[in-house]
Amino acid sequence: MLNLTKSKALWQTAAQVLPNGVTSNFRYWGPEDTRFLERGSGAHLWDVDGNEYIDYRLGYGPNILGHGDARIDEAVIEAVRGNGNIFAMSLPIEQEVARKMSEMCPCVDLVRFCNSGTEATHHVLRVARSYTTREKFIMFEGQYHGVHDYVLFTTMVRNDWITTNRRSPVAVPITSGIPKALHDLVIMLPFNDPETLERVVKQSWQDIAAILVEPVLGNCGGITPEPGWLETIRKVCDEYGIVFIMDEVKTGFRLAKGGAQEFYGVTPDLATYAKAMGNGYPVAAFGGKREFMQHITSGLVHGGTYCGNRVGMAAANATLDVLQNTDALETIHARGRELQNAWTEVFERFGVPFSVQGHPALPSFWFTEKPPREYRDWLQTNHSLYEQVAMGLVERGVLPEPDAREPWFLCEAHSHNDIMETANALEDVMKAVVK
């Protein structure tokens, strides 16, 4: 067992001043297991008890180059030292970052900056609603779009079964505190199901402002879109005047320089970005085609005290520079394929049903006979075994997210040696678990 003495003591004092001792519910692993960190460097983390981990969470994705990357840190420090951070006025660097995004991302003519993925999806829905003068939007089972009230919905599940028919899923709030009125604005549909999407849009298009899609189910193990799925979304949006929003908070600048829209060759109307664009510094954006984004100039509110702050802009400028002009993404993708091959080799030795899938920058494995193609399939995978395996890895200094819905994240700093150590740890865990 890892020694967590200092983390446990810190949790006791933290819980006196922070609910559950944490600043985000997702960081609470219980009083005995919630970890406090000392530092991160490259693909490695050290907790306050001195335990070292190979990090495959990367802060849920942002650290695309690795923790504390000197190219980014130095650009940020240089930018802010003695210069101040926010002014309620514009900085020249904003247009540099916007220009880079526009060069890299197929849908982006115009950009607005914000500070988190939550803000980005919140603003972008307002643009779509204002543009179409409609109020509802479609989202898909297994997706996550942040913590604002419009999107904190999931599909009804009991004992790992979705209790409602896939032709007519029922959206339920993920949390208390969501106004009932918002429920009426969400249409929840299954992912990778063109027939259901087309039928529902045909029936209800007059009310639908947007289809909001994670192109890869980055909050459900990284399930990928089947050929034709994103194309169908594009087609129905064109046919019925609906705004196609791709939530690229996890996939942006990770699947390809231009994100999932470049990788899958389907261009949305609007897209949201956060995580990888700042290598861990707080910065986010939404952007898209001129026709929609220009709408912001006539009677539509977007703003925020911290939008376009110098720290975020310097981080984004330096990170996008690296991603645009070096082969960082090729390195990450090659390392991800190496990891996927290592998983396959280990699991084959243990004869458990498994499936290794996903884009190599955002891969996952599942214990199942049948590779999941949507959230309903994922629920049928053996995710309690997954969680057991993940916690076994954590004990051995390899850190994926124990919640099986979260894929693994690769960064430029992951080395061949990290993958080998990960494979050895997995072999060890499987020996202990598959008895």
Ligand X SMILES: Cc1ncc(COP(=O)(O)O)c(C=O)c1O
Chain residues in the site for ligand X (CB under 6 A): 60, 116-118, 121, 144-146, 214, 218-219, 247, 249-250, 274
Strands 355-357, 186-189: parallel, antiparallel or unpaired by DSSP?
Answer: unpaired
With beta carbons less than 8 A apart as the criterion, state whether 18 and 31 touch: no
| Distance between CA atoms of residues 353 and 365, nearest Å | 11
Minimum CB distance to ligand X smaller for 274 or for 390? 274
- Minimum separation from the CB atom of position 207 to ligand X (A): 23
| Distance between CA atoms of residues 140 and 342, nearest Å | 31
Minimum CB distance to ligand X smaller for 146 or for 221? 146
- Minimum separation from the CB atom of position 49 to ligand X (A): 27
Q: φ, ψ for residue 241 (rounded to 5)?
A: 65, 35
- Minimum separation from the CB atom of position 84 to ligand X (A): 25
Q: The tokens 């190496």 sit on which residue?
A: 338
Which of 235, 164, 153, 162 lies closest to 194, judged by CA?
235
Q: Which helix (H) or strand (E) holds 124?
A: helix 117-132
- Minimum separation from the CB atom of position 121 to ligand X (A): 5
Minimum CB distance to ligand X smaller for 119 or for 418? 119
Measured over the CA atoms of residue 103, residue 215, residue 415 and residue 275, the dihedral's sign is positive
Residue nearest to ligand X (CB): 117
With beta carbons less than 8 A apart as the criterion, state whether 22 and 64 touch: no
- Minimum separation from the CB atom of position 284 to ligand X (A): 6
Minimum CB distance to ligand X smaller for 118 or for 130? 118
- Minimum separation from the CB atom of position 395 to ligand X (A): 25
Minimum CB distance to ligand X smaller for 392 or for 400? 400
Minimum CB distance to ligand X smaller for 269 or for 338? 269
Residues 188-204: b if buried by 16+ CB within 10 A, e if exposed: bbbbbbbebbbebbeee
Minimum CB distance to ligand X smaller for 118 or for 232? 118
Which of 322, 307, 290, 301 lies closest to 91, judged by CA?
307
Minimum CB distance to ligand X smaller for 4 or for 271? 271
Instruction: Fill in the amino acid letter for 395.
Output: E
Q: Which residues have C-beta within 8 Å of that of residue 235, sequence separation ≥ 6? A: none
With beta carbons less than 8 A apart as the criterion, state whether 185 and 135 touch: yes
- Minimum separation from the CB atom of position 282 to ligand X (A): 8
| Distance between CA atoms of residues 91 and 125, nearest Å | 26
Minimum CB distance to ligand X smaller for 250 or for 257? 250
- Minimum separation from the CB atom of position 25 to ligand X (A): 12
As a three-state string, the secondary structure of 318-385 is HHHHHHHHCCHHHHHHHHHHHHHHHHHHHHHHHCCCCEEECCCCCCEEECCCCCCCCHHHHHHCCHHH
- Minimum separation from the CB atom of position 249 to ligand X (A): 3
Q: The tokens 């993920």 sit on which residue?
A: 174
Q: φ, ψ for residue 127 (rounded to 5)?
A: -60, -45
